[in-house]
Amino acid sequence: HPYGNRYAGDKVIRLTPRTEEEVFAFKNIYRRLQVDLWQPSSISYVSEGTVTDVHIPQNASRTLLTFLQGARIQYTVLIEDLQKAVENENNLQTQRNRR
Amino acid sequence: SLSEYNYEVYHSLEDIQSWMYHLNQTQPSLVQVFSIGRSYEGRPLFILQLGRKSRAYKKAVWIDCGIHAREWIGPAFCQWFAREALLTYKTDPAMRKMLNHLYFYIMPVFNVDGYHFSWTHDRFWRKTRSRNSRFHCRGVDANRNWKVKWCESEPEVKAVADFLRQHRKHVRAYLSFHAYAQMLLYPYSYKHATIPNFGCVEIAAHKAVKALRSAHGIRYRHGPASQTLYISSGNSMDWAYKNGIPYAFAFELRDTGQFGFLLPEMLIKPTCTETMLAVKNITLHLLKKCP
């Protein structure tokens, strides 16, 4: 497994905060969990209506998703299994070359 | 040779550097490779000069890819562009005109340390790999690092800035390739204001996204970065524009989130073919129309 299988269980989700309260709530949980933003490039750019893609490591997944559900912040899962997506990025030939 | 190198897969930094060395050896009439400095970790910063060599004055277009390490489709496009230019020089009148009248300075991997790290350790690394005694974190965002008050510029940014300053009289366009969002952006990014040559730039951008869409139907948004994306300061596009390069653009390539940074290799070809149309459109537009 490339990268030592470090992305096993990680997800990428998309959320779009609709209100100032949702923005504030998300920023708080973001700072607590230190997850990786795919877009926008910085948490300071997140405001009402900002399409926000978040890479959630496995160990923060339950905490963040439970929080979002509790705060009624809607989200969709863009990538369910990030490790698989990393492996699928390269075609078979490249994977063989890398191994 | 050009035909054996596979442009439809992602390549490591070492592969890309070997490919540049090979082009330098085998395409002397149109290619010259040189280094403009070294990265924080000491890696050479290679530039590929593309265009028929001439002692006379020639305008130039700067193209960089890979400012952000994880955006692999960028470097893939820079390689694709060089390949297309060299392969079609004899058969495509438009490409021949561009290579005869212009130099293209192509930097396939801007953030060499970060790109290498994204291949070896963390696929989603974004920043450079510098260390700073004042801050605990590692590396900086090289696209928030151009003449800003909150920190010194990185060695990579300084090297490119110095080169662009030295060649300011020649470099008429600055193109930077990122991912992902499917956007074509122009200044300003750091404020809501209209650039003086808005008319020409907007027409060029509009035509470019139209040409891009003609290939595979992919829709790009275009406009000032501050409006189309968000306000951000210290990026290379604004710096290039404010330092005398009249046409500065930033591309956010595919996709819009289905794969994100993990764009599968089978999509390299369509992404690069459509982007070629946009870049050629911008270049020809600038050669002809804009003062």
Residues A35-63 pLDDT 10s: 899 999 999 999 999 999 999 999 999 99
Q: Above 80 in pLDDT, residue A98?
A: no
Report the mean per-residue pLDDT for chain B: 95
What band does A92 get if pLDDT is binned at 50, 70 and 90?
low
What band does B286 get if pLDDT is binned at 50, 70 and 90?
confident
Q: Above 80 in pLDDT, residue B289?
A: no
Catalytic residue status for B274: no
Kind of pairing between the strands at A52-56 and A11-15: antiparallel
**Residue A37 vs residues A11, A26, A64, B113, B221: alpha-carbon distances, Å:** 12, 12, 13, 21, 22
Nearest CB among B10, B257, B261 relative to A14 is that of: B257
Cβ distance A14 to A51 under 8 Å?
A: yes
Tell me whether residues A85 and B124 touch, CB distance under 8 A: no
CB contact B262 to A (< 8 Å):
yes
Catalytic site residue from B71, B154, B156, B252: B252
The C-alpha atoms of residue A54 and residue A52 are separated, in whole angstroms, by 6
CB contact B124 to A (< 8 Å):
yes
Decide if the complex's ipTM is over 0.90. Answer: yes
Q: Above 90 in pLDDT, residue B139?
A: yes
Residues B82-119 pLDDT 10s: 999 999 999 999 999 999 999 999 999 999 999 999 99
CB atoms within 10 A of CB B263: 22
Query: How confident is the model at residue B290, as a pLDDT?
Result: 65
Q: Above 60 in pLDDT, residue A99?
A: no
Contacts of A51 in chain B (CB under 8 A): 257
Kind of pairing between the strands at B59-65 and B102-107: parallel
Mean pLDDT of B228-240: 95
Distance from CA of B100 to the nearest CA of A (A): 36
Contacts of A14 in chain B (CB under 8 A): 257
Distance from CA of A33 to the nearest CA of B (A): 16
Nearest CB among B10, B260, B265 relative to A38 is that of: B260
Distance from CA of A16 to the nearest CA of B (A): 13
- Taking the CA of residue B279 as centre, how many other CA atoms within 13 Å lie in the half-sphere pointing to its CB? 29
